[in-house]
Amino acid sequence: MNELEFIARLRALAVNPAARGLVDDAAVLKLGDETLVLTQDSMVEGVHYLPDQDMADVAWKLAACNLSDLAAKGAQPLGVLYSHMLGSGDARFLNGLREVLEAYDVPLLGGDTVSANGPRSFSLTAIGRATYSPVPSRGDAKPGDALYLTGPVGAAMMGFEALRDGTTSDSSAYRRPVPLLAEGRALAPLVSAIMDVSDGLLLDASRMADASNVTISLDRSAVPIAAPESRRDDALRWGDDYQLLFTGPADIKWPIAVHRIGQIEARKGSALLIDGAAPVPDDALGYRHSE
Q: Which residues bind a copy of itself (CB under 8 A)?
A: 1-3, 6-7, 9-10, 13-16, 18-19, 21-23, 25-27, 29, 31-34, 36, 38-48, 78-79, 81-86, 90-91, 94, 97-98, 101, 107-119, 121, 123, 125, 127, 129, 291
Nearest in space to 270 (alpha carbons), one of 216, 201, 198: 216
Q: Which residues pair with 40 in a beta bridge?
A: 125
Closest CB 165 distance from a copy of itself, rounded Å: 25
CB of 10 to a copy of itself, least distance (A): 7
Residues in the chain: 291
CB of 93 to a copy of itself, least distance (A): 9
Nearer to a copy of itself among residue 2 and residue 230 (C-beta)? 2
Rg (CA), the chain: 19
CB of 161 to a copy of itself, least distance (A): 23
Query: Quick one: 129 or 267, whose CB is closer to a copy of itself?
Result: 129
Q: Using an 8 Å Cβ cutoff, are 120 and 50 in contact?
A: no
CB closer to a copy of itself, 118 vs 269 = 118
Q: Which amino acid is at 10?
A: L
Measured from the CB atom, is 121 or 172 closer to a copy of itself? 121
Residue 73: partners with Cβ closer than 8 Å, 6 or more residues away: 25, 26, 28, 37, 128, 130, 135, 136, 137, 184, 188, 194
